[in-house]
Amino acid sequence: MDAMERRETKMTRKAYYARKIKRATQLLFYKRHMKPGVKGWELKNALGSDYPKILKVLDNHLEKLDLQVKTVFEGEEPAGKPTLEELNRARFFVTLRGGLPSKDAKMMGWRIDDIAGLATAISCIISKRGKAPREEVEDMLRSKLPGWRVDMNLNRYIRSGYLAEDENNMLYLDWRTRAEVDQKALVDLLLGTET
Amino acid sequence: MSTKKKKLSSERLQRVIELCKSVEEQGVDPFAVDVDDIIATLQKYFPEWESTEELALDAEAVQYLASVIQNQGDWVKHRSTSLYTDPFLLEEKIQRLKKEELAALFTTVWSPIIELEQISIPSLAEALRYWNELVPISERWQKNGPLQVAAGATTWEELVRLKILAEKTFLEELEGFWKELKQKVGENEKIHYWDFVGADTYSETIDRAYMTSFLVTYGYATLELHPLEEEIFIKPFTKPRSELADRRMVSVPISVSHEEWMRWKEGRQR
């Protein structure tokens, strides 16, 4: 293969990835279902079986914009490198890479009260091994929110996908918390605060 | 083993199941369950179980106990992870932090999802098609005047046929039903619920169950319940007892499902 042929092959491959990255961006940014994000198998159908590689390239591009491609696995996160099967069942989102100044959160329609309440509810559930009776979470929230807002806020967190509730009024962390919140960092930060 | 002793043993198993369920459903500490003691109890009772129901209860207790053990395993696993934290310590930290501090802390570990909502060209085209085909509001909201019908006379029979009027008043019908109950009971004082309510067709059975409920509510009869034998009897009064209405009433739900009616019918044919 001479130099020209090699250059042409390289150009074709570059064009191939550029096309695939554009498609991946459309799929990940635009909401197509009730829930945001795309399932691995949908990406596989649209981009081909090498979609993890395409997502990695896209993630590198997004880093400059302080964004990232986030993978949320079904159930627990695999200990080692995830298999293609696990990736196909996972859901992919684009999230902010770093944190968000709390004054900017206000612009997203969240009051300081709502964010403090969400932090309280999530940490309470984490400390109770991932599930806690709704009553206990409500009691905790009452220390941060006015009584009439407690029920309303909890329902809002459930509707948004941060928390889930079962028929026995037990609260769990739902898909949005897994996608958006670094749970370990949250616990570490809370425990590290000097009070 | 005597029936009484067996009953006590099965009640003990029920309590074990409830305790294990509370771990699963109410988040009770799984280590509050003394697994060794429960296993010893199950072992003690197991040789005495004979019927399918008793063995099923035993199996259920074992299944719930297994879920408690799994919960204990998860608890140990969670404690060994980096996410483990003492709930009381964390609660204390949260209580002491101000709302603003808590929100600021949370936003540093919070990376919200980026999502855009858009309308696509096909959706726009569909919306346009809908708009073009939409009938003007003046036509859609056009009010049709009431239909003019010439007034005429009707007969009592016609109203009965249209089911606007009943052939007999409800009370007349109820009293007829009460007489039938008294005849069927004869000298026995009471009759089995299904023997009175049951009829050749299911819809007729439902009608009879409905009327029977009024017999009891209006004080024409009473129900005698034998919960252990799962039997219900109806006892007619010789005179309606209106004073019952003033006393505190107790509702007794009785299932008259199609399956139960079939079972009763098959039993009667045998």
B92, B99, B107 ranked by CB distance to A100: nearest: B107
Chain-chain contact of A102 with B107 (C-beta, under 8 angstroms)? yes
Give me the phi and psi of B225, to 5 degrees please: -105, 135
- If you average pLDDT over residues A88-96, what whole number do you get? 91
Does residue A121 contact residue A140 with C-beta atoms inside 8 Å? Answer: yes
Chain-chain contact of B108 with A191 (C-beta, under 8 angstroms)? no
- A57-90 pLDDT per residue, tens: 999 999 998 899 999 888 777 878 888 889 999 9
- A145-185 pLDDT per residue, tens: 888 889 999 999 999 999 999 888 899 999 899 989 988 88
A108, A133, A181 ranked by CB distance to B109: nearest: A181
Spatial distance between the Cα atoms of B189 and B183, rounded to a whole number of angstroms: 10
Radius of gyration of chain B measured on its C-alpha atoms: 33
Does residue B191 contact residue B234 with C-beta atoms inside 8 Å? Answer: yes
Chain-chain contact of B110 with A31 (C-beta, under 8 angstroms)? no
Spatial distance between the Cα atoms of A168 and B24, rounded to a whole number of angstroms: 10
Does residue A65 contact residue B152 with C-beta atoms inside 8 Å? Answer: no
Chain-chain contact of A180 with B94 (C-beta, under 8 angstroms)? no
- If you average pLDDT over residues A185-191, what whole number do you get? 87
Spatial distance between the Cα atoms of A137 and A185, rounded to a whole number of angstroms: 20
Chain-chain contact of A129 with B74 (C-beta, under 8 angstroms)? yes
CA angle A165, A167, A172 (to 5 degrees): 25
CA distances from A34 to A160, A175, B60 (A): 11, 13, 39
A98: chain B residues, CB-CB within 8 Å: 111
Confidence of residue A53 (pLDDT cuts 50, 70, 90): very high
Spatial distance between the Cα atoms of B23 and B33, rounded to a whole number of angstroms: 8
* CATH topology classification for B170-269: Arc Repressor Mutant, subunit A (1.10.10)
Chain-chain contact of A143 with B114 (C-beta, under 8 angstroms)? no
> How many percent of chain A have pLDDT more than 90?
41
Provide the whole-model pTM.
0.54
Measure CA A180 to chain center. Answer: 4
CA of A14, closest CA in chain B: separation in Å? 27
Residue of B nearest to A146 (CA): B99
Name residue A13's amino acid: R
Name residue B93's amino acid: K
- A10-23 pLDDT per residue, tens: 767 788 888 999 99
Chain-chain contact of A94 with B114 (C-beta, under 8 angstroms)? yes
pLDDT of residue B21: 83
- If you average pLDDT over residues A26-50, what whole number do you get? 88
Residue of A nearest to B84 (CA): A127
Residue A101 touches partner B, C-beta closer than 8 Å? yes
A168: chain B residues, CB-CB within 8 Å: 25-26
pLDDT of residue A157: 94
Tokens 């079986």 found at:
A49
- B192-218 pLDDT per residue, tens: 898 899 988 888 899 899 889 888 888
Q: Which of A169, A166, A170, A134 is nearest to A153 (CA)?
A: A134
Does residue B269 contact residue B213 with C-beta atoms inside 8 Å? Answer: no
Does residue A63 contact residue A97 with C-beta atoms inside 8 Å? Answer: yes
- B42-88 pLDDT per residue, tens: 888 888 888 888 888 888 888 888 988 888 887 777 666 656 677 78
CA of B113, closest CA in chain A: separation in Å? 4
Q: Which of A21, A108, A14 is nearest to A62 (CA)?
A: A21
Residue A91 in 3-state DSSP? strand
Which parts of chain B have pLDDT scores under 70?
1, 78-84, 143-147, 167, 242-249, 270
CA of A107, closest CA in chain B: separation in Å? 13
List chain B domain ranges: 3-80, 170-269
Give kind and range of the element (H or E) at residue B204.
Answer: helix B202-217
Spatial distance between the Cα atoms of B187 and B183, rounded to a whole number of angstroms: 9
Give kind and range of the element (H or E) at residue B71.
Answer: helix B52-80
Sign of the Cα torsion B11, B14, B20, B26 reads negative
Give kind and range of the element (H or E) at residue B88.
Answer: helix B87-96
Domains belonging to chain A, first-starting first, are 10-98 (3.90.1150), 103-192 (1.10.10.10)
CA of A5, closest CA in chain B: separation in Å? 40
ipTM: 0.81
pLDDT of residue A171: 93
Residue B147 touches partner A, C-beta closer than 8 Å? no
Tokens 């809002």 found at:
A156
Give me the phi and psi of A93, to 5 degrees please: -135, 165
